[in-house]
Amino acid sequence: MRRQSLIAAAALAAATFGPAVGTVAQAQDKVLVPCVCELSGAGAVSGSNYRDGAKLALEEINAAGGVLGKQLVMNDYDTQTDPQTSRALVQKAIDDGAYVIFGTVYSGSTIVNMLVAKQNGVPQITGSEAPKITQLGNPYIFRTSSSAAKGVPALTAYFKQTLGTKKIAVAWVNNEFGKGGHDVFVSQMKGAGIDVVADVPSEQGQADFAADVSKIKESGAEAVFVYLNEEESARFLKEAKKQGLTVPLVGEVTLTGQKVIDLAGGAADGAYAHVGLTTGADVPSIREFARKFQAKYGRDTDHNGIKGYIGMYAIKYVTELVGSFDREAFAKKMHGLTLDVAKYPGMLLTTSWDDTGELSRESFMTKVVDGKQKVVGLVPAN
H-helix or E-strand containing 327? helix 327-334
Residues 93, 85 contacting (CB under 8 angstroms): no
Burial class (CB in 10 A: 0-12, 13-18, 19+), 26: exposed
Question: For the window 220-259, what string marks contact with other proteins as x by the rule CB under 8 A?
Answer: -----------x--xx--xx-xxxx--------------x
Closest CA to 128 of 304, 288, 283, 250: 304
Closest CA to 275 of 304, 249, 233, 308: 304
* Closer Cβ to other proteins, 39 or 100, answer by number: 39
**CB burial readout 162-177, b (16+ within 10 A) else e:** ebebebbbbbbbebbb
Question: For the window 183-222, what string marks contact with other proteins as x by the rule CB under 8 A?
Answer: -----------------xxxx-x-xx-xxx-xx-xx----
The correct pick among 39, 61, 152, 290 for binding other proteins (CB under 8 A) is 39
CA angle centred on 34, ends 181 and 312, rounded to 5°: 65
Q: How far is the CB of 332 from other proteins (least distance, A)?
A: 37
48 binds other proteins (CB under 8 A): yes
The correct pick among 162, 174, 187, 285 for binding other proteins (CB under 8 A) is 174
* Closer Cβ to other proteins, 237 or 334, answer by number: 237
Residues belonging to the chain: 382
Total number of residues that touch other proteins (CB under 8 A): 37
Q: How far is the CB of 217 from other proteins (least distance, A)?
A: 7
66 binds other proteins (CB under 8 A): no
Residues 41, 81 contacting (CB under 8 angstroms): yes
CA angle centred on 268, ends 265 and 269, rounded to 5°: 105
| Stretch of 23-31, 35-43, 330-338, 368-376 lying at the interface with other proteins (CB under 8 A) | 35-43
* Closer Cβ to other proteins, 235 or 307, answer by number: 235
Residues found near other proteins in the complex (CB under 8 A): 39-41, 44-45, 48, 174, 200-203, 205, 207-208, 210-212, 214-215, 217-218, 231, 234-235, 238-239, 241-244, 259, 262-267
